[in-house]
C-alpha cells in the first residue's frame, strides 16, 4: 500500500511525463510543418515513449492501492526557433526530469518504501540513456550549425536513433 506522500509524489511524476510527451509532440508537429520528416518521426516516437513512462507510473500507483490522477497541462510552445534550440531545450528538459526522478527516489528512502524505490530504478537507468542520447544529438546539431546540406543529412540520420532511445524494456 502506498503512503499518501508517495502517492502524491508519484502523481507529480505522472504529470511530468505527460507534460514531456506533450512538449515533444509539439516539437514533432513543428518539425513536420518545416518538412523535416526524420526529426518529426523521431520526436513523435519520443513523445510516445514519454506516454509509456506515464502509463507505467499510472499502473504502478493503481496496482499498489493508490489512485493515479490525470491533470491539466500547460500548452507547450508551438515553435522552437531552430533545431539547435529545440534540441537544447529537449536536453534541458531531460536534465529536469532526471532531477525530478532523483527527488522521488529520495522520498522513497525517507518513507522507507523499498518497493517503490525498486520500481523507480528503471527510471533512473532510463534517464541516463535519455540524457546521453539528447547530449549526443545536441553535439551533432552544433557541428552542423546552419548548413542546409548538413541538416538534410541529419534529418535522414536521426531516424536511425529511434531504436536507440527505447531504453530498458517496459514490462
Cβ closest to ligand FEO, residue 125 vs residue 156: 125
Answer yes or no: are the C-beta atoms of 31 and 25 closer than 8 Å.
Answer: no
Check binding of 7 to ligand FEO (CB under 6 A). Answer: no
Cβ closest to ligand FEO, residue 6 vs residue 97: 97
Check binding of 19 to ligand FEO (CB under 6 A). Answer: no
Q: How far is the CB of 53 from ligand FEO (least distance, A)?
A: 4
66: left (phi over 0), alpha (psi -120 to 50) or beta: beta
81: left (phi over 0), alpha (psi -120 to 50) or beta: left
Check binding of 94 to ligand FEO (CB under 6 A). Answer: yes
Q: How far is the CB of 38 from ligand FEO (least distance, A)?
A: 19
Nearest to 162 by CA among 47, 76, 82: 47
Answer yes or no: are the C-beta atoms of 16 and 102 closer than 8 Å.
Answer: no
Which stretches of the chain bind ligand FEO, using CB under 6 A? Answer: 17, 20, 50, 53, 94, 97, 130
Amino acid at each position: 500500500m502506498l503512503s499518501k506522500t508517495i502517492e502524491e509524489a508519484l502523481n507529480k511524476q505522472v504529470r511530468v511525463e505527460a507534460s514531456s510527451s506533450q512538449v515533444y509532440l509539439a516539437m514533432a508537429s513543428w518539425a513536420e510543418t518545416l518538412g523535416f520528416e526524420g526529426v518529426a518521426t523521431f520526436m513523435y516516437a519520443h513523445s510516445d515513449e514519454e506516454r509509456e513512462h506515464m502509463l507505467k507510473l499510472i499502473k504502478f500507483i493503481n496496482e499498489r492501492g493508490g489512485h493515479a490522477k490525470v491533470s491539466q497541462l500547460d500548452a507547450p510552445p508551438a515553435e522552437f526557433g531552430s533545431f539547435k534550440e529545440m534540441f537544447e531545450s529537449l536536453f534541458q528538459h531531460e536534465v529536469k526530469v532526471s532531477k525530478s526522478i532523483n527527488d522521488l527516489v529520495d522520498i522513497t528512502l525517507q518513507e522507507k518504501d523499498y518497493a517503490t524505490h525498486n520500481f523507480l530504478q528503471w527510471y533512473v537507468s532510463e534517464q541516463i540513456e535519455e540524457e546521453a542520447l539528447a547530449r549526443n544529438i545536441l553535439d551533432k546539431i552544433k557541428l552542423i550549425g546552419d548548413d542546409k546540406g548538413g541538416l538534410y543529412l541529419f534529418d535522414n540520420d536521426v531516424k536511425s536513433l529511434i531504436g536507440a532511445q527505447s531504453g530498458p524494456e517496459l514490462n
